[in-house]
Amino acid sequence: MIKRLNLLIINLFIFTGMFLCKAQDEQNNKIYLVPMCVYQGDTIPCVQLREVLIFKPLKFKNNKERQEYDRLIRNVKRTLPIAKEIQRAIIETYEYLETLPDKKAKDKHIKRVEKGLKEQYTAQMKKLSFSQGKLLIKLVDRESNQSSYELVKAFMGPFKAGFYQTFAGLFGASLKKEYDPLGEDKLTERVVLLVENGQL
């Protein structure tokens, strides 16, 4: 019986979801349009609520730990959008490369993409702190399931990948660094999930 009722509610929501119901904010005299559905003969607003993630509350030993956590939140908010943009660029580039006829055309396109990325992101990357740069390397691995080194190697060849890896090594970073959501990066994963869900 409960299953049938649930199916009925779902079907009603699907079939009547196109209709809108007005909700009025009396204090500001604003009208909001929200989806509506019919349930047991009544027309009611239907609002799909976002999933809420619940984690065990963090306990900080001291103020320094609290500040480090706050810094991690700021760094994730700054670098996560860049990592997602990089992932989109990778997918678009890969899909476009598949349509090109030969290696020469692919190499030419890769050079154009590389030039475009440098023009678009160089100023933004220069503004990142060292810790944000290291975090970005890991978040790129999280988003694409490949380390930054592997991505550079796949698109630009082993020579450039080696060059960029050496350059990163001069500053104590590594393009080969992988994201470990269950180990070293457990706290970062928690922050990323909360940021993605709009809870931070």
Question: pLDDT (tens digit, 9 = 90+) per residue, 37-86?
Answer: 888 888 888 877 778 888 888 888 899 889 999 999 999 999 888 888 88
β-bridge partners, 44: 37
Residue predicted with more confidence, 170 or 89: 89
Q: What is the dihedral of CA 84, 88, 89, 92, to 10 degrees?
A: 170
CA distance 68 to 73: 9
Strand-by-strand arrangement of the 20-25 sheet: 20-25, 30-39, 42-45
β-bridge partners, 43: 38
Tell me the two tokens of residue 10.
């779902």
pTM of the model: 0.66
β-bridge partners, 183: none
Q: Which amino acid is at 69?
A: Y
**Is the model's pLDDT at 13 over the cut of 70?**
no
Query: Residue 172: what pLDDT?
Result: 67
Query: Residue 161: what pLDDT?
Result: 67
All structural domains of the chain with their residue ranges: 2-45, 63-196
27 half-sphere exposure, CB direction, 13 A CA radius: 0
